[in-house]
Amino acid sequence: DAKTTQPNSMESNEEEPVHLPCNHSTISGTDYIHWYRQLPSQGPEYVIHGLTSNVNNRMASLAIAEDRKSSTLILHRATLRDAAVYYCILRDPLETSGSRLTFGEGTQLTVNP
């Protein structure tokens, strides 16, 4: 599986934008980039995914570098509820185990009031 590299931790202030980086230099041409987050005492929660183009949804935006070797999850206005561990994951569409996600250690986001 292609690996991702994320900072162990990041800090933000409430109502400010947050940019969470992810490096995936060995990404294959068909790998999708997925982001999940895990709030305390909960299971992971899907945030967003993309292949080549930038993506937006109600939760966040995903900016993908032109060479696809890195991406950034953008939370436009952080709230205290966004404090969580954020995981950047590559998903191979050729993987026969379609729901097999390879989690790293993720980025622990702290949001200060």
Where along the sequence are the contacts to another protein (CB under 8 A)?
Answer: 32, 34, 36, 41-46, 49, 85, 87, 91-93, 95-106
Q: Decide whether 3 or 16 has the Cβ nearer to another protein.
A: 3
Q: 45: helix, coil or strand?
A: strand
Q: Give the DSSP letter of residue 57.
A: -
Q: Decide whether 14 or 110 has the Cβ nearer to another protein.
A: 110
Q: Decide whether 15 or 46 has the Cβ nearer to another protein.
A: 46
CB atoms inside a 10 Å sphere around CB 64: 20
| Vertex 44 angle, CA 87 and 16, to 5° | 60
Q: Decide whether 49 or 68 has the Cβ nearer to another protein.
A: 49
- Residue 95 beta carbon to another protein: minimum distance, rounded to whole angstroms: 7
Q: 107: helix, coil or strand?
A: strand
- Residue 110 beta carbon to another protein: minimum distance, rounded to whole angstroms: 16
Q: Give the DSSP letter of residue 31.
A: P
6 burial (CB, 10 Å; 0-12 / 13-18 / 19+) is buried
- Residue 87 beta carbon to another protein: minimum distance, rounded to whole angstroms: 6
- Residue 14 beta carbon to another protein: minimum distance, rounded to whole angstroms: 25
